Structure 1
Amino acid sequence: MALCSYAQQLFDLMLLGEDVSFAINESNSFKVECGELGKRVSRLLELLSDLLITTAPTPLYLRPINCMVAKLKGHFEAARRIVCNCKHRNLIWRLFASRIAAEFEELFHVLDAFIGEMEWVVRLYESQTRGGCLKTVDRMSPTVSVWSCIATVEMGSSLDDRIEAVNHLASLVRHKHDYKHIIVEEGGVDSLMKLLKENCSLVAHIAAANTLCLLANEDNEGTIMKEMVSTFIKSLSKTSPISKQTQAADLVASIAERNPESKQHDLIRENIIWQLVILLSSEQSTLELKISCSNALWKLAQGSVSNCRTLTETKGMLCLAKLVAKEQGELRYNCIMIIKEITSIAESDDGFRRSAFTSSSPAAKAVVDELLRVIKELDATKLRVPAIKSIGSLARSFSAKQSRVIGPLVARLGNTDQDVAMEAAIALKNFVSTGNYLCSEHSKSIIEFEGVPLLMKLLNSGDKSTHPHVLALICYLAQHDSNSNVLIKAGALTALQTIDPKVNIEYTELETLVPRTISKLQSYLTVEQQQTESSTGIIQFITEQSKAVVDTIGGRLKLLYKGLTVYLPTLVKNPRKRILRAIPPLKKTRIQQFLKAKCMELALMSVYYLKKRLAIEEPAQKLRLVLPLMALKEITALAEHNIDLRREVFKTGSVELLLRVIKESEDYMLKVLAIKSIGFLARTFRKSNHHRVISLLVSQLENGCGEVVMEALVALEKFSCDENYLCKEHSNKMIEFNAAQILVKLLSDGESELKLQVHGLVLMCCIASKADYCKAVEEARMTTAVRQLLREEGELGTFVSQKPELKELATKALHSLILYYEY
């Protein structure tokens, strides 16, 4: 309502009131009631006059007056109608006298209540009492309470009164949901938005923004959020003063912290986060502004997958890494906390983790490097704890080769600060828990970095709050047989057996882990004893057989020599010369036949032992099979250059057992022995049976253990070398199983050892010179990789340039590839 229109309506209402007073003076009946009515009408006219004088100078919040005017007009018209019925005293009047008396009584009640509301309205608009009406809000009707608060927000004499009114509106909404609709209907959103845009204190802006978030519902949420976001963007723009930018960032942080639902809104994610990252990374931004922006981003990232994804899609990750590296104090802490929130989301969301923390991402690598630097170099617990938590959350993102991450965490187990040590134990637990598919490789890294003694020390002398996490970590380490011996020697079995039962009850994770680990370590001790006895028997057997072989060979050679030198001279002319010529080949033939028989006997015994142990219900990877595998390795090494022995060994069924060990065993030592044996038998395999062998060997090229990868490369070289007459067929089969892509990746990986890359180069050159799958080779970019090496790029390229035979092999492979493409 325009102010002039509002004043005109007040004048019209006052004229209507005077008409009622004139009608009262002309009444002939109900004199007492009319007198009482006259007093009430006179009081209302006085209040209307005061209201007109009070509100005339300035435009105001007119919603209460509009409602009051409409109601008062109805009351005056009702009063005039009743008074008009009191002008005559006749028969009809007598019939309706009782009804008129009742109407007077009802009108008195209505007018008395209305006079109270009008007095409140007049006080509300008086400049000296604006804001003071909040004290009586609780005693009023819901609508009047809302009017009082909104009017104070609009017209309060002091900023404190206005802030108090805004907070009271928020408390009304929290107390009863119905107030939300009343506040929206009575114009509260516009008043709060106006306060939000005013150049006033941060406290007032925070109060207004939080109340607006409470008022948002399905109908008006889009409008409210759009208005708020546009206000924030305008304040955060580069053209705004730094003080206004800082205040806007603080306001965003407050909204995100107090209203978690609001920060998930698309407008916040698509506009505010980008603007905050720009200000955070700008060189022109002051330290105070950067602190406010980082705090706002921290609150926005908490528990929000969408906001964290937006942060990683911007240059936010690189910006955070740079700030952690060069800044100090609160800004560095806020940046680390943002990273912690992002990694926490990544831990629980596999899709987000795979997209944001890939091994090829420069931003992810920079963040991880800075976190490791904080863990290793900074002494502040406040910074170390969230950094360790972040690395622990990313446990499933690290490959087996990235053991550099494990070392700093293991070192922190010995930290004097128990909070740091506990977080390190929790982070390491994420690396070796069953949910991490590289738990076996990571557990070996922890053992190699001497983590078990530190865990036992922490268990014996550390704070009791760290014990559950340390025990869980020990239990997960014990799940792998290769660690059992180290754990038992360190006293882990005794510690688990003497644990307080209350700990198992309080932590459900330990309730099943601890008993299972104790059982496993005890069974390991039993198996170890049996293995020792079996090993002693096998060693004794090999020693006895070796002595028997030597004695037999010596005795037969003496007998042979005696026969040739004593009896033959009497029968043959010139015997000595002929026999001396015959002795060396004769001795060699007989010895080889004898050794072949003994080797076959030993091979059959080793295969029998392997079959017997693999028939046990436990998986093959959990057995100690080193001695029989070592025996088979030595036999297959002899058979590599002896075709007859090679065929005989192949018939024993040892190949199936070796392939099973490669596929199922988790012990890298067993894998290495089995792969070596398969490599020695490379020339035994035909096109009809090489499919499964080559497939298994190629899959081992992606194993996390460097020794396994090395032996797989060497074994595949034996399949593709020129000495193997099926080298072309074997090479084609390797290409079919994506060996080209794996080898190119191995050569381009800067973290791989040089000797692995050299053997990878040799195998790749062998494949390139023989394979027919040109398209697969081309897709693997093998030609590009070889050319880069010949240009002496990188450490491997330098090494190749110093080795003429390698350079010649690479050049030959390049020519073969070029011919393929030209053809």
Structure 2
Amino acid sequence: MSSEQKKLMKNLLLDMILLGQDVCSAINRSNSFKVKCSELGMRVNRLLLMLRSLPRFLTSAAPFYLLTVNSIVVKLEDNFKVAQRVVHNCKPRRRLCRFFTGHIFLVWSYIATVEMGPSLDGRIEAAHLLASLVQQKDFEYKQLIFEGGLPSLIKLLKENSPVAHIAAANVLCLLANEEEEKSGTIMKELIHTIASRLSRTSSRCGQKQAADLVADIAERFPELKRYHFMREEAVWRLVILLSSQQSSLELKISCSKALWNLAQGSVSICKTLTETKGMRCLAELVAKQHDELRFNCIMIIKEITAIAESDIHFRRSAFTSSSPAAKALICELLRIIKERDDAKLKVPAIKSIGSLARSFSARKGRVIISLLIAQLGNTDQEVAMEAAIALRKFVSTDNYLRSEHSESVVKFDGVQLLMKLASEYTKAQPHVLALICDLAQHDTNSNVLINSGALTALQTTDPEVITEHPELETLVPHAISRLQFNLTEDQLQTDSSTGIKQIITKQGKEVVDTVRRGLKLLSKGDSKTPQMVTRWIKRILGQNLHYVWTA
């Protein structure tokens, strides 16, 4: 070691000794947490004794390894400064200052416990108390940052405990929401700490804990997903772990849940998933995995396709016909719709296909529409309803190929299934009626719709159904007028006769039966009264009522 290096080291040690003495002086002046401050003072004094002995080694002729001493001194300086800051908050305060401090003493107490608490449970409880303080309306959250709470919370975040992770992250996320100036710094520290635990060098347990923490943050603080740190550090690490052959099933489930929560409603994160190998990875997992992991992956796909439905630029870039990843993903969705009996998987798969309705060509659309029409007859009402909703997106006015797709619906006998569903009071009924109205906008479908009884079905729609679904208030009358305009002379005559009969059969019969029962009570054996009323009703409604009255 050169003389210059020895001189620098002596000055550094002297600075450390002076800093340690300042800590001891602050401990002596402390007015609260005396027991804990006393324990801290004993440790600082022990370190000072060791520091004072180091200069003797520097003056000796024996070789001295300087690198180790340098690293120790740097860490020691950081610890002395933290101790000095914490102990400084425990010294007596002037009376005037106490009137303006508010929660400051609680903040000091909780930060000190988070930093130096003897037990992990106590530190976690202190973090919960800090979170409660931050959520109070009269709390000045800047106090927590100013008093050095961030390093203490980051330290707690690094503990090997999921409960500690959630407690620390909760406070940090609350602060990031409140403190706009510091939110970027807070989120950067938080995400960087979590991302480091998601790296391949971390333990499997640490990776799972970090993935669970990301899922929790994304679920409870969705507004924090806007930070680019989340996309740049967390998302791609989760995708790597999800696609890795070495990752355990439990870890993959945790990663998929985190990505699902992150993808919900976030355009930027969905773009990141499609720009990485996320799409290919999801398609492979849906094909090979089972139960919770497969379900989570399908839900991620559903979130991505929902964003694609509302964002035309994203849809065109991510779901191009030349993209192998997009093709593989769509094939797996169609396979689930066709082969799986599990409604829990079918419903999100159908929703995903519906969201991509504007991405398919007429040729590909025919294949998909045939599968969706088959699902209209599914015994599960949820599946049938989602199939009707998805089909609407193929024939709606904002789909460029709506005319071709509507012809496919008619070609694959979709109208017959729709008429059956329209007559049933199920959750699918309003969506089926809306789909029939959309099909009626194309004159080429009018003949099939009229012959199948669509006009009568729309004319006799329950008013309550229309009231509960305001969209039908416009669609149904417009579709009726469109179908009536396209009636042929034979259909006009048939529809008039059939319409009256059906109205009387389905709605008028109940009224007539009620009148008939009342007349029996009024007549009390008088056979002329029912006959007189029958003649009077016939004059109003015509002879078509006769078969009802005599039924």
Which of the five TM-score ranges fits, normalised by the shorter chain? Answer: 0.7 to 0.9
Query: Residue 373 and residue 256 in structure 1: after superposition, are their counterparts in 2 closer, same or farther (change >3 A)?
Result: same
Q: Distance in 2 between matches of 1:67 and 1:246?
A: 37
Aligned position for 2:291: 329
Task: Determine whether 1:512 maps to 2:529.
Answer: no
Q: Distance in 1 between matches of 2:164 and 2:43?
A: 23
Task: Determine whether 1:460 maps to 2:445.
Answer: no
For residue 242 of structure 1, the aligned residue among 204, 210, 234 is 204
For residue 417 of structure 1, the aligned residue among 380, 389, 398 is 380
Aligned position for 1:164: 125
Aligned position for 2:259: 297
Task: Determine whether 1:405 maps to 2:368.
Answer: yes
Q: Distance in 2 between matches of 1:61 and 1:186?
A: 12
Aligned position for 1:385: 347
Aligned position for 1:480: 442
Q: Is the 8 A contact 2:27 2:38 kept in 1?
A: no
1:516-547, CA deviations, whole angstroms, 9 ceiling, x for partnerless residues? Answer: 11111122115776999xxxxxxxxxxxxxxx
Aligned position for 1:56: 41
Q: What is the RMSD computed on CA atoms of the aligned residues?
A: 2.6
Aligned position for 1:426: 389
Alignment of 1:553-632 (within 5 A): none
Aligned position for 1:209: 169
Displacement after TM superposition at 1:52 (Å): 5.5
Equivalent AA in structure 1 for residue 368 of structure 2: V
Query: Residue 328 and residue 177 in structure 1: after superposition, are their counterparts in 2 closer, same or farther (change >3 A)?
Result: farther
Displacement after TM superposition at 1:259 (Å): 1.4
Q: Distance in 2 between matches of 1:467 and 1:161?
A: 57
For residue 233 of structure 1, the aligned residue among 192, 195, 207 is 195
Q: Is the 8 A contact 1:459 1:470 kept in 2?
A: yes
Q: Is the 8 A contact 1:385 1:419 kept in 2?
A: yes
Q: Is the 8 A contact 1:61 1:151 kept in 2?
A: no
Query: Residue 454 and residue 58 in structure 1: after superposition, are their counterparts in 2 closer, same or farther (change >3 A)?
Result: farther
Q: Is the 8 A contact 1:7 1:52 kept in 2?
A: no
Query: Residue 212 and residue 528 in structure 1: after superposition, are their counterparts in 2 closer, same or farther (change >3 A)?
Result: farther
Query: Residue 515 and residue 283 in structure 1: after superposition, are their counterparts in 2 closer, same or farther (change >3 A)?
Result: same
Q: Is the 8 A contact 1:10 1:48 kept in 2?
A: no
Q: Distance in 1 between matches of 2:380 and 2:145?
A: 54
1:88-114, CA deviations, whole angstroms, 9 ceiling, x for partnerless residues? Answer: xxxxxxxxxxxxxxxxxxxxxx89x89
For residue 341 of structure 1, the aligned residue among 296, 299, 303 is 303
Q: Is the 8 A contact 1:418 1:462 kept in 2?
A: no
Displacement after TM superposition at 1:341 (Å): 0.3
Displacement after TM superposition at 1:352 (Å): 0.4
Q: Is the 8 A contact 2:26 2:88 kept in 1?
A: no
Q: Is the 8 A contact 1:392 1:426 kept in 2?
A: yes
Equivalent AA in structure 1 for residue 412 of structure 2: F
Greater relative CO, 1 or 2 (CA 8 Å, sep 6+): 2
1:557-602, CA deviations, whole angstroms, 9 ceiling, x for partnerless residues? Answer: xxxxxxxxxxxxxxxxxxxxxxxxxxxxxxxxxxxxxxxxxxxxxx
1:624-653, CA deviations, whole angstroms, 9 ceiling, x for partnerless residues? Answer: xxxxxxxxxxxxxxxxxxxxxxxxxxxxxx
Aligned position for 2:407: 444
Equivalent AA in structure 2 for residue 424 of structure 1: A
Task: Determine whether 1:264 maps to 2:249.
Answer: no
Displacement after TM superposition at 1:515 (Å): 0.7
Q: Distance in 1 between matches of 2:371 and 2:238?
A: 33
Displacement after TM superposition at 1:141 (Å): 3.2
| Structure 1 gap ranges (5+) | 15-43, 76-109, 115-139, 533-823
Q: Is the 8 A contact 2:306 2:355 kept in 1?
A: yes
Q: Distance in 2 between matches of 1:286 and 1:452?
A: 48
TM-score for both structures, normalised by structure 1? 0.50
Displacement after TM superposition at 1:69 (Å): 2.6
Q: Distance in 1 between matches of 2:83 and 2:350?
A: 56
Aligned position for 1:66: 88
Q: Which secondary structure does the structure 1 equivalent of 2:181 belong to? A: coil
Task: Determine whether 1:144 maps to 2:105.
Answer: yes
1:169-219, CA deviations, whole angstroms, 9 ceiling, x for partnerless residues? Answer: 2232222274321111111111110111122x1121022113212212332
Q: Distance in 2 between matches of 1:6 and 1:518?
A: 87
Q: Is the 8 A contact 1:195 1:205 kept in 2?
A: yes
Q: Distance in 2 between matches of 1:197 and 1:52?
A: 24
Aligned position for 2:511: none
Query: Residue 51 and residue 242 in structure 1: after superposition, are their counterparts in 2 closer, same or farther (change >3 A)?
Result: closer
Q: Distance in 2 between matches of 1:48 and 1:353?
A: 60
**Which structure's CA Rg is the greater one?**
1
Q: Distance in 1 between matches of 2:105 and 2:447?
A: 79
Q: Distance in 2 between matches of 1:475 and 1:504?
A: 13
| Structure 2 gap ranges (5+) | 1-17, 45-81, 495-551
Displacement after TM superposition at 1:450 (Å): 1.1
Equivalent AA in structure 2 for residue 56 of structure 1: G
Task: Determine whether 1:354 maps to 2:316.
Answer: yes
Query: Residue 438 and residue 528 in structure 1: after superposition, are their counterparts in 2 closer, same or farther (change >3 A)?
Result: farther
Q: Which secondary structure does the structure 2 equivalent of 1:69 belong to? A: coil
Q: Is the 8 A contact 2:197 2:207 kept in 1?
A: yes
1:276-326, CA deviations, whole angstroms, 9 ceiling, x for partnerless residues? Answer: 111111111111111111111111111111111111111111111111011
Task: Determine whether 1:187 maps to 2:148.
Answer: yes
Query: Residue 254 and residue 480 in structure 1: after superposition, are their counterparts in 2 closer, same or farther (change >3 A)?
Result: same
Displacement after TM superposition at 1:226 (Å): 2.3
Displacement after TM superposition at 1:495 (Å): 1.4
Segment of structure 1 superposing worse, 59-68 or 227-236? 59-68
Alignment of 1:725-744 (within 5 A): none
Query: Residue 522 and residue 177 in structure 1: after superposition, are their counterparts in 2 closer, same or farther (change >3 A)?
Result: farther
Query: Residue 50 and residue 169 in structure 1: after superposition, are their counterparts in 2 closer, same or farther (change >3 A)?
Result: closer
Q: Distance in 2 between matches of 1:347 and 1:155?
A: 51
Q: Which secondary structure does the structure 2 equivalent of 1:220 belong to? A: helix
Displacement after TM superposition at 1:220 (Å): 2.0
Q: Distance in 2 between matches of 1:506 and 1:461?
A: 16
Aligned position for 2:456: 494
Displacement after TM superposition at 1:5 (Å): 1.6
Equivalent AA in structure 1 for residue 38 of structure 2: I
Aligned position for 2:239: 277
Task: Determine whether 1:8 maps to 2:29.
Answer: no
Q: Which secondary structure does the structure 1 equivalent of 2:372 belong to? A: helix
Q: Distance in 2 between matches of 1:55 and 1:512?
A: 76
Alignment of 1:798-809 (within 5 A): none
Q: Distance in 2 between matches of 1:256 and 1:52?
A: 39
1:662-684, CA deviations, whole angstroms, 9 ceiling, x for partnerless residues? Answer: xxxxxxxxxxxxxxxxxxxxxxx
Q: Which secondary structure does the structure 2 equivalent of 1:198 belong to? A: coil
Equivalent AA in structure 2 for residue 176 of structure 1: K
Q: Distance in 2 between matches of 1:220 and 1:250?
A: 25
Equivalent AA in structure 2 for residue 66 of structure 1: H
Q: Which secondary structure does the structure 2 equivalent of 1:437 belong to? A: coil
Equivalent AA in structure 2 for residue 449 of structure 1: F
Q: Distance in 2 between matches of 1:48 and 1:183?
A: 19
Q: How many residues align?
A: 436
Query: Residue 48 and residue 204 in structure 1: after superposition, are their counterparts in 2 closer, same or farther (change >3 A)?
Result: closer
Q: Is the 8 A contact 1:210 1:259 kept in 2?
A: no
